[in-house]
Amino acid sequence: MTARHAARPSDVDWASRIAERLPEADVLRLAAAAASGAGAVHALRAQAPGPVRDACDQVIAQLGGQVPAFAAGALLGAAAAVRRARARQSLDVVWTGPESGISTSRLTAATVTGLVSAARHEILLVSYATQAEPALEEALAGAARRRVEIVLVAERHADNPGYHGPDLPFPGIPATRLSWPAGRRPPGASLHAKAIVVDDEIALVTSANLTSRAMEANLECGILIRGGPQPRAIRDHVHALWSLGQLRRL
């Protein structure tokens, strides 16, 4: 491809998305098949599991308008970029509770409000018990003013009779609110996950609910993940449950 016909970023976004979602070994197999043309990709698709078949379909579509060597190179370049990004991933421990004398990098309340305050595009909040904690509510209001999309997944008494918290936390915040309907869950099951994902780039997976007591007083522990595939994987899992009807918009 000549400089006059250099690829635009949008021309290779498909390769980046594939490299972010598949293990590197699968991306390399796909690149090798793409270099040989659509027939080789069809052959790979015939014996591949579901996620790889979906990627094969994307590559076959690209081969209709691009030379095989370009498609293969895009996949190899994307795989290398994702490998470097994952190598730069950082993990921190996040605590609520008494001091131990052992250095820990972050406190839950400060971490949660800091993540929300820094969001640029999307915030996903998943929590069992959720209350309108003032600092978090203020941070969410600021995010809403910045036109950040807010998705809130929370438990409800209507779906879980054992739950007695508020059914509509942060009522003044414009958000997409999702529930796990009683008819979609096994008897006695709870929506018990606690996670925050910001901009597909940072995730906090924690034992702490989004309440003042959990973020400031209880003994709670979480892991803060910056970079790598996990933040996007958590976000994609929740959105897939929504699209499949396992989660329902209120």
State the pLDDT at residue 85.
78
State the pLDDT at residue 229.
83
Of 87, 120, 146, the last residue of a domain is 87
**Same domain, yes or no, for 82 and 106?**
no
Q: Please list the rounded mean pLDDT of every run of 10 residues in the chain (250 residues).
A: 45 87 92 95 92 93 89 94 83 88 76 96 96 91 97 96 90 96 96 96 96 93 92 94 96
State the pLDDT at residue 13.
86
**Same domain, yes or no, for 151 and 225?**
yes
**Same domain, yes or no, for 78 and 99?**
no
- CA–CA dist 112, 136 (Å, integer): 7
State the pLDDT at residue 104.
60
What is the 3-state secondary structure of 56-115?
A: HHHHHHHHCCCCHHHHHHHHHHHHHHHHHHHHCCEEEEEEECCCCCCCCCEEHHHHHHHH
**Number of domains forming the structure of the chain:** 2
From residue 153, alpha-carbon distances to 8, 62, 72 in Å are 37, 36, 39
- What strands lie across the sheet with 220-226, from one edge to the other? 106-107, 90-96, 220-226, 202-206, 195-198, 122-127, 149-154, 176-179, 248-249
Q: Is the pTM of this model over 0.95?
A: no
Rounded to 10 degrees, the C-alpha dihedral 167/206/79/39 comes to: -50
CATH number, position 164: 3.30.870.10
**Same domain, yes or no, for 120 and 237?**
yes
Q: Computed over its alpha carbons, how large is the radius of gyration of the chain? A: 21
**Same domain, yes or no, for 59 and 128?**
no
**Same domain, yes or no, for 22 and 96?**
no
Burial grade of 212 (CB within 10 A; 0-12, 13-18, 19 or more): middle
Burial grade of 50 (CB within 10 A; 0-12, 13-18, 19 or more): exposed
Show the tokens assigned to 52.
Answer: 């790889």
3-state secondary structure of 30: helix
Instruction: Count CB atoms within 10 A of the CB of residue 165.
Output: 16
From residue 116, alpha-carbon distances to 56, 94, 99, 139, 175 in Å are 36, 16, 25, 6, 13
**Same domain, yes or no, for 101 and 215?**
yes
State the pLDDT at residue 9.
47
- CA–CA dist 210, 194 (Å, integer): 8
Where in the sequence is the domain holding 26, given as residue range(s)?
Answer: 3-87
